Amino acid sequence: MFAAAALPATAGAFALSHQCPPSFENREGHCRLQTVYQRYTSLNDAGVGGLKTGLPPVRDGFTPEQIDLGRYLFFDPALSRTGKVACASCHRPSRGFADDRPGVGVTGTAERRKAPSLWNVAFLRRFFWDGRAHSLEEQLKGPLYGAQEMGNRPARLLTTLNGMTAYRALFAEAFTDTGGGIRSDHVYQALAAFESSLISLNSRYDLYAHGVADALSPPEVEGLNVFRSFVARCAECHTPPLFTNQQIAVIGMPEPKGRPFDPGAGAISGEPTLRGGFKVPSLRNVALTAPYGHAGQFATLRDTVAFYTGGRGHAVPSGEKLQLHWHIWEPKLSAGELDRLVDFLDALTDESFRPTAPTGVPSGLPIPN
């Protein structure tokens, strides 16, 4: 365990931004999301996969200072027991705020599941691959206090942060009720504020959806048509514009070689019908988040889309009788159609509003790579 008292704690070295992030409007000191999609009044007018479908309710209204404080916390390894692991260690900005390698926490042990992307989490209603958390604040406690992740404890985390002059000053600026010191709810709210600011809705697909006809190439349009078709049925679960319906689906995806079967949501709910079920992930910035699957089973997008045309239940392990989602069948897509799907998925990339990583954090600890 690192010694908090030995860390630099210069309050004047850090300042919080008073500006809302791009795509947010400052309304009386609170940041409110502004997108073209919010002009579309219905979630269903255009049908499944429709281009002008609206967005679900968004989590916004944080202050600029809370968002920026959350940015510092997100990159600061002081939140971990050892002072070596930060949120950004697994949710890597350059990899779509996901990971491109097995997550390794304070114990050095690889995680069973890969870290999901954080882009557009402000719209989500459930979190973790098994959907067990229903708010960002609830989700945050998992990695913060998980023995194999950041390995901290609430009291120890607060002792660390309250022992730093810089953080006491920043929290006092972001919150009006820190007279008794930094509290856990302050930490959770600041991190939730930052994560809710990660908005990706300006890809070339979005331009196309808003009426720019040449924003997608002919192969990408062909891929979009396959994606939306009632043969491939991709859009029925990966529903635009978030490219997820936020549901739990049992699809019979294999585990990495040598790994035991992961019961997923079934282990949380106890429902036999959810055994092997996982949350449908968003496909936003999916080209950046390899490997794919809840445990990184597939190295490439091409391998991933090929799995779905391999036949219903073809990868279910012997002895498992899963209640596969009815959308999973045998589309028998051609090699060319699979290639076009990958072309289209590449067009969902948009990092135009990716926040700048701090060059230093208030703890003075090195920011993990």
| 282 in Cβ contact with 127 (< 8 Å) | no
Q: Where in the chain does DSSP place strands (E)?
A: 24-27, 30-33, 248-250, 277-279
170 Cβ neighbours under 8 A, 6+ residues apart: 14, 16, 69, 72, 362
343 Cβ neighbours under 8 A, 6+ residues apart: 217, 219, 220, 222, 223
Say how far apart CA 224 and CA 218 lie, in whole Å.
10
Identical fold between 12-196 and 204-346 = yes
Q: Which pLDDT tens digits describe the chain residue by residue (369 residues)?
A: 554 444 554 556 899 999 999 999 999 999 999 999 988 876 554 456 678 888 989 999 999 999 999 999 999 999 999 999 999 999 999 999 999 876 678 888 878 899 999 999 999 999 999 999 999 999 999 999 999 999 999 999 999 999 999 999 999 999 999 889 999 999 999 999 999 999 999 999 999 999 999 999 999 999 999 999 999 999 999 999 999 999 999 999 999 988 999 999 999 999 999 999 999 999 999 999 999 999 999 999 999 999 999 888 999 998 999 999 988 888 999 999 999 999 999 999 999 999 999 999 999 999 987
> What are the boundaries of each domain within the chain?
12-196, 204-346
Domain 204-346, what fold?
Answer: Cytochrome Bc1 Complex; Chain D, domain 2 (1.10.760)
97 Cβ neighbours under 8 A, 6+ residues apart: 91, 117, 118, 119, 198, 285
The CATH superfamily of 12-196 is: Cytochrome c-like domain (1.10.760.10)
Give the number of other Cβ atoms within 10 Å of residue 195's Cβ.
24
